[in-house]
Chain A
Amino acid sequence: MRANATVFFAFVGVLFFTPVAHVQAENVEKPQQEQAHHEDVHNGDTHDEASGEKDIKGIIKETIQHHLADSYEFHVTDGIGFPLPVILVDRGLKVFMSSAFHHGSIAEVDGNFYKEHHGKIYKTDALGTLSYDHNHHPTNDKPLDFSITKNVFVILVMAIFMFFLFRGVAKTYQTGLAPKKAGRFLEPIVIYVRDEIAIPNIGEKHYKKYMSYLLTVFFFIWFLNLVGMTPLGVNVTGNIAITFSLALMTFIITQVSGKKDYWRHIFWMPGVPVLIRPALAVIELIGLVVKPFSLMIRLYANMLAGHVVLMSIIGLIFIFESWIAAPAFLGLTVVLSLLELLVAALQAYIFTMLTALYFGSAVEEHAHH
C-alpha cells in the first residue's frame, strides 16, 4: 500500500511539472494545430477571434470550458493524454478510438461518418458537413452515445481503486480486530459516517441497511472531489449527469423505503385542520422532488464553482503578466486550493448527511399523534 502511494504521488508530481517541459514543444506545435482548428471548426464558431489571433481572455475562457466539460479523450495538457473508446449505437454497435476525431477529422466506421462538434458526436457525410439552425446548433442526427468518455474512465478507475482499497482494509481485519495500514486512516471515517451521520439521522433500528449506500456515496464523492483537485484536469463531481444520478439514487431509495407514516405525512398530514391537508400534500409533493434536486445542484454547483474560480485566478496570472501579480495570484491559488480541499470533504459530508436525513424521514415511526 505504501509503495502504491509513493508511485501515485510520484506520478502526480510528474504531472505537475510536465506542463513546464512541454511549453517549448507547444510553441512548435501550436501553429499547425491552430490552423487545423481554424479550418475545421471555424465555420460555426462564434469565438472572439480577431484576425486569427485569439486574445488571452478567450484562450483562458476556452481552457476553463474545455476543462469543465467531459471529452472523448483523456487530455491532460498539450501532448499528454490518450484516446478513449467511443461507443455509438447507430443501427448496430460502432466502436472506435477517439483518436479518430483528432484535429476535427471525421471518423468512418462501416461506411458511416461521425464528427465531433462541441463535445457531441453527430452523424455526417464523408466531407463532414454540418447544417446549423438559427441558434448555431447542428441539426444533424446524433447517434446514441455510450462512449467511455474521460469522466466514465475516471469513474471506472475510481470504482476499481475504491474496491481494492476497501477490500484491502476489510482483509486486514481477518488477522485481528485492530485496523492496520490504510484502515487506520479510513476506519475512523467509516465509524464517523456510522455514528455521526447514519445513526443520528436514521436511528439505531434501521440504519444498518443504508450503511453500504451512505459509505459508498461518501467516499465516492470525496475521492472524486479530491481527484478533481489534481492537475489531471478531471471534473466528475462538477458534472450534472453524475450529481443527477447520485441524487436520483437517493430519491429512489428514499421512496422505496418510505413507510406508512412517511406517506401519511405527505398526503394527509396529521395534526392539522382537514381543509389545509390537501394544500400541504401539494407542498410536500413538491418538497419530495426539491430535496434530491437540491442535492444535485448543491454538489454540482459547488464543485463547478471551485474549479472555475481556481482556474480563473490562475488565468489572471497570464492576463496581468506582471512579476507582482504572478506570485500574488499563485499564493491566492494555494489558499483557495486549501479551501477547496475542505469543500471537497464538506460536500461529500453534506450529500451523505442529507441523504441519511431523507432516509431517516422515510423510515421514521411516529409513536403518538
Chain B
Amino acid sequence: MDKLIQDFSYGLFIWQVLVFVLLIFLLRKFAWKPILEAVNEREESIEGALKAAEKAREEMKSLQADNEAVLREAREERERILKEARDMKNKMISEAKDAAATEADKAIISAKAAIEAEKTAAIAELKNQAASLSIDVAEKILGQELSAENKQTAMIGKIIEDVKFN
C-alpha cells in the first residue's frame, strides 16, 4: 500500500483525466451520438415497417370482411327482389283468377236471369196460346159439334189430351 502511494504518478493521472474527458466529449459529438441515433432510427424504422405490415394485414382482413358483407347484402337483395317478383306474380295470378271468377259468376247470373226472363216470357206466351187455343177449342166446340153429345165428349177429350201434351 505504501509502495502504491509512493509510486502513484500524478502526472499520468492528470494526463489521463485530460485525455479521457476530452475523448468522451469528442466521441460523444462525433461518434456515439450519430451511431446511437442511426441505430435508434433503424430500430424505429424496422418497428414502423413491422407495424405497417401488421396494419396492412388488418386492413386486408377488414377489406375482405367488407367484401363479404357487400356480397352477402347483394345476395340478400337478389333474394328479396326474387321473392317480391314471385309474390307479385302470385298476386297477379290470384287477382286474375278472382276477376275471372267474378266475371264468370256475373255471366252465369245474367244468363240465369235471361233464361228466367225467357222462361217467364215463354210461359206467358204459352198461357196466351193456351188461352187462345182454349178459345179456339171453345169456338169449335161451340160452332160444330154441339149437336152430338158423344162426339162432343170425344172431341173435348181429344182437345184436352192435345193440351196436356202441349
Produce 1/0 per residue, B1-25, CB < 8 A to A. 0001011111111111101111111
- B52 close to A (CB within 8 Å): no
| B24 adjacent to A155 (CB under 8 Å) | no
**Quick one: closest B residue to A186, CB to CB?**
B35
B26 within 8 A of A: yes
Which stretch from B37-45, B107-115, B118-126, B145-153 is at the chain A interface? Answer: B37-45
Which of B4, B9, B15, B27 is within 8 Å of A215, CB to CB? B27
| Contact in complex: B32, A211 (CB < 8 Å) | yes
Task: Tell me the A156-208 residues at the B interface (CB within 8 Å).
Answer: 156, 159, 162-163, 166-167, 169-171, 173, 177-178, 183, 187, 190-191, 194
Give the residue of A119, A212, A245 whose beta carbon is less than 8 angstroms from that of B17: A245
Bound: A191/B7 CA distance, A: 38
CA A148 to CA B16, docked complex, whole Å: 11
A171 to B38, CA, bound (A): 10
Q: Which of B9, B28, B35 contacts A173 (CB 8 A)?
A: B35
Assess the B16–A155 pair: CB atoms within 8 A.
yes
Min Cβ gap A193→B in Å is 10
Main secondary structure of the interface of B (DSSP, over half): helix
Q: Given A166-B32, A241-B8, verify A213-B23 contact (CB < 8 Å).
A: no
What is the size, in residues, of chain A's interface with B at 8 Å between Cβ atoms?
45
CB of A16 closer than 8 Å to a CB of B: no
Complex CA gap A239/B31 in Å reads 27
Produce 1/0 per residue, A230-261, CB < 8 A to B. Answer: 00000000011110111011000000000000
A244→B13 contact, CB < 8 A: yes
**Any A CB within 8 A of the CB of B34:** yes
Q: Would you call A364 an interface residue if the criterion is a C-beta within 8 Å of the partner chain's C-beta atoms?
A: no
Are the CB atoms of A170 and B12 closer together than 8 Å?
A: no
Given contacts A152-B11, A169-B35, A187-B35, contact A242 B16 (CB under 8 A): yes
Q: Are B45 and A245 in contact (CB under 8 A)?
A: no
| Distance A331 CA – B63 CA, assembled complex (angstroms) | 70
Q: Does A146 contact B (CB under 8 A)?
A: yes
CB atoms of B11 and A166 under 8 A apart: no
Q: Are A169 and B31 in contact (CB under 8 A)?
A: yes
A125 within 8 A of B: no
Quick one: given A177-B45, A249-B20, are A212 and B27 in contact (CB under 8 Å)?
A: yes
Instruction: Please tell me if the beta carbons of A166 and B30 are within 8 angstroms of each other in the complex.
Output: yes
| Distance between Cα atoms of A248 and B21 in the complex (Å) | 12
- Check if A70 is an interface residue, CB within 8 A of chain B: yes
Chain A contact residues, majority secondary structure: helix
With A and B bound together, what is the CA distance between A167 and B41 in angstroms? 18
Cα separation A162 to B25 with both chains bound (whole Å): 12
A220 within 8 A of B: yes
Nearest B residue to A170, CB-CB: B34
In the complex the two chains form, is A190's CB within 8 Å of B9's CB? no
Q: A69 at interface (Cβ–Cβ under 8 A)?
A: yes
A70-B9, A149-B11, A151-B12 given as contacts; is B23 within 8 A of A159 (CB)? yes
Task: Provide the residues of chain B in CB contact with A194, threshold 8 Å.
Answer: 36, 39
Chain A: which residue is nearest B23 at the CB level?
A159
B9 partner residues in chain A, CB cutoff 8 A: 70, 145, 149, 151, 239, 241
- Tell me if A225 counts as interface (CB < 8 A to partner B): no
In the complex, what distance in Å separates the CA atom of A167 from the CA atom of B30? 6
A63 within 8 A of B: no
Q: Are A146 and B30 in contact (CB under 8 A)?
A: no
A119 touching B20 in the complex, CB below 8 Å, given contacts A211-B32, A211-B36, A239-B12 = no
- Is A131 an interface residue, CB under 8 A from the partner? no
Given contacts A159-B23, A162-B23, A241-B8, 15 further A-B contacts (CB under 8 A): A155-B16, A159-B20, A166-B27, A170-B33, A170-B35, A173-B38, A187-B39, A191-B39, A212-B28, A216-B24, A216-B27, A239-B9, A240-B4, A242-B13, A242-B16
Binding site for A on B (CB under 8 A): 4, 6-17, 19-28, 30-36, 38-39, 41-42, 45
